[in-house]
Structure 1
Amino acid sequence: MAEPREIPEGPAHERVTVVLITWQRREEALVAVRRLLELPERPRVIVLDNASTDGTAQALREAHPRDSAGGRRLDVVVLPENQGAVARNTGVASATTPYVAFCDDDTWWDPGSLERAADLFDADERIAVLTARILVEPGGVEDGIVTELRESPVQGAPGLPGPALGSFLAGASVVRRSAFLQVGGFSRRLWLGGEEELLAADLAAAGWELCYVEDLQIHHQASVLRESTRRRRNGIRNTLWFTWLRRPLPAATRRTRDLLRSLPPDRTSALGVLDAVAGLPWLVRERKVLPPHAEARFAALEESQRTSKSRNYSR
């Protein structure tokens, strides 16, 4: 874990940057960015455009021009290729604040949540990730996964501001920038789809805490422009990769068995498994089993993973 540091003071915009990733969703990105810039915390917003061809970057710049002094709270970075979740690494590296809130182009933070997250980080140097309560729009209905976060069986350090977590949901979380950079951010090999688990494990191995906080809120209005088949294929591959990269042999065997039993017998499932097998040489080379204190977090989740209705690859 990082050495004790002096607690930063100041308004939220000096402590939290929002990093948003987008691809081919110009209209939704415009709405999400507008809502973020309207937040009372007035955060700097960094948009990572994953090589969109629909004019997203230009539309954002035109909608939010620099002021008369040449300043702007929005920075748009156009990447040369679609880097998926790994684009967030670029955003975190560009941020100058101690904390970074992630956002997708179909999500937005509730007013006051970024200020609250910054205060919680300031108060507890053990925490690397804070995950928020997710409200599904339209309607503001609580996402089904929130119950699992709220009832997490993971045992964390005493005195955390909420239940300890084994993993997290990147699009609904705020991270401590120094912890994120310490473990290298999101893996380029995993790209997108269940990419959080490996990062969460490496944070836990380094001694950091992750937790769910009820009074942090983020809104999610799922885009109709989704590559669900590709996302599911990647998710299956990445879950298997993480399992064999970090879990001890008995646990990896159990998790693999349970996952394979849960998959529908279709082409996407088969391709996801084949993709995972194709990475075997890399897995053998990079395998590094978690220390006992970190493995305990994932062992505690095995039953909930078997029964979860929100975290599975059945569709």
Structure 2
Amino acid sequence: MSDVTIVVATKDREGDLRRSLRHHTVPVVVVDNASADGTAQVAADAGARLVRLPRNLGAAARNVGVEHVTTRYVAFADDDSWWGPGALDHAAKVLDAHPRTALLAARVLVGKEERMDPVSGGMARSPLGRPEGLPGRAILGFLACSIVVRRDAFLGVGGFSELLHFGGEEELLALDLAAAGWGQAYLPELVIHHHPAKGGRDHQWRRRREVRNRLLTAWLRRPLSALAQEAAVSLRTPDGRRGMADAVRVLPSVLRARRPVPRAVARDRARLDGY
């Protein structure tokens, strides 16, 4: 019996979900972000457990999925991605052997060409090195669809933020895990396959949302000097300026939620800025 469960958050992507679910080899929980298509039937046909939400929670839907999981470890996948053979069994063994590690990030191979995602390349060259007791190179960022987490650690820091919805939601979780003393590592021997659709995605909206979420994350957890740097970078492009305006509109609701990370974590994060 596997000690890993896969959680997939999805919305109105029944075609992608049908293709990806057939590749999963461990139990799957599908969290439906209020879809209006045939997502529920696709999940049922694949034998996955379905959790239907009354509204779209974005990335925080994954938290609901994790709450329905009973295994010690949880792997995330998107509706257009799936884990390579043996990856999750290996991840469970690594986490068993490294009790202070909460998160393992995999190498992401994109499309039929299996091109390595640039984020994976960045993690492979992380300047944070490999601290003692960590099974791989230390990281403070990742792609959400490419991680295996220790369930209790994930829930202990609150999981993904509903405030950030989707688009760059990973950094806040990474900072919160690090602040709680948990290790996070990149393991290139873990592989996940990502087959995104070639059309139908609003890349401009995505860039704007990522700027918004970087700024909000900086306000919530990073030194004010880092927030100023992020703001200066955002002003350089139209999408960046729109993202900043989006963040400013939300800021009054999170003014009292600021909780800066410990200095050591802030220093590690600062090392990534010029990388």
1:301 CA drift (Å): 0.4
1:119 CA drift (Å): 0.4
> What corresponds to 1:60 in structure 2?
43
Give the gaps of 5 or more residues in structure 1: 1-10, 65-71, 305-315
Residue from 24, 35, 44 that aligns with 2:27:
44
Residue from 108, 133, 140 that aligns with 2:82:
108
The one-letter code matched in structure 2 to 1:139 is E
> What corresponds to 1:312 in structure 2?
none
What secondary structure does 2:8 align onto?
A: strand
Does 2:4 match 1:16?
yes
Residue from 103, 110, 114 that aligns with 1:136:
110
The one-letter code matched in structure 2 to 1:252 is L
Measure, in 2, the Cα distance between the counterparts of 1:126 and 1:157: 12
Task: Give the structure-1-normalised TM-score.
Answer: 0.83
Measure, in 2, the Cα distance between the counterparts of 1:260 and 1:209: 33
> What corresponds to 1:290 in structure 2?
261
Measure, in 2, the Cα distance between the counterparts of 1:240 and 1:156: 28
> What corresponds to 1:310 in structure 2?
none
Q: Is the 8 A contact 1:107 1:171 kept in 2?
A: yes
> 1:101-157 deviations in whole A, cap 9, x for unaligned?
000011000010000100010000111110000111112222222221100012453
> What corresponds to 1:148 in structure 2?
122
Measure, in 2, the Cα distance between the counterparts of 1:94 and 1:279: 30
Give the gaps of 5 or more residues in structure 2: none
Q: Is the 8 A contact 1:255 1:302 kept in 2?
A: no
The one-letter code matched in structure 1 to 2:240 is S
The one-letter code matched in structure 1 to 2:220 is L
> What corresponds to 2:132 in structure 1?
158
Does 2:165 match 1:191?
yes
Does 2:68 match 1:85?
no
The one-letter code matched in structure 2 to 1:303 is G
1:251 CA drift (Å): 2.5
Residue from 275, 279, 292 that aligns with 2:250:
279
> 1:277-299 deviations in whole A, cap 9, x for unaligned?
11222332111111112112211
> 1:211-252 deviations in whole A, cap 9, x for unaligned?
100100000111234243332222111100001111112222
What secondary structure does 1:244 align onto?
A: helix
What secondary structure does 1:17 align onto?
A: strand
The one-letter code matched in structure 2 to 1:202 is D
Measure, in 2, the Cα distance between the counterparts of 1:173 and 1:112: 14
Q: Is the 8 A contact 2:106 2:187 kept in 1?
A: yes
Measure, in 2, the Cα distance between the counterparts of 1:142 and 1:167: 16
Q: Is the 8 A contact 1:21 1:48 kept in 2?
A: yes
The one-letter code matched in structure 2 to 1:28 is D
> What corresponds to 1:230 in structure 2?
205
Residue from 26, 29, 34 that aligns with 2:14:
26
Measure, in 1, the Cα distance between the counterparts of 2:129 and 2:255: 30
The one-letter code matched in structure 1 to 2:203 is S
* Aligned alpha-carbon RMSD (Å): 1.5
> What corresponds to 2:155 in structure 1?
181
> 1:47-81 deviations in whole A, cap 9, x for unaligned?
011111111112331x23xxxxxxx5x10112111
1:25 CA drift (Å): 1.1
Q: Is the 8 A contact 1:152 1:164 kept in 2?
A: yes
The one-letter code matched in structure 2 to 1:269 is G
The one-letter code matched in structure 1 to 2:143 is L
The one-letter code matched in structure 2 to 1:47 is V
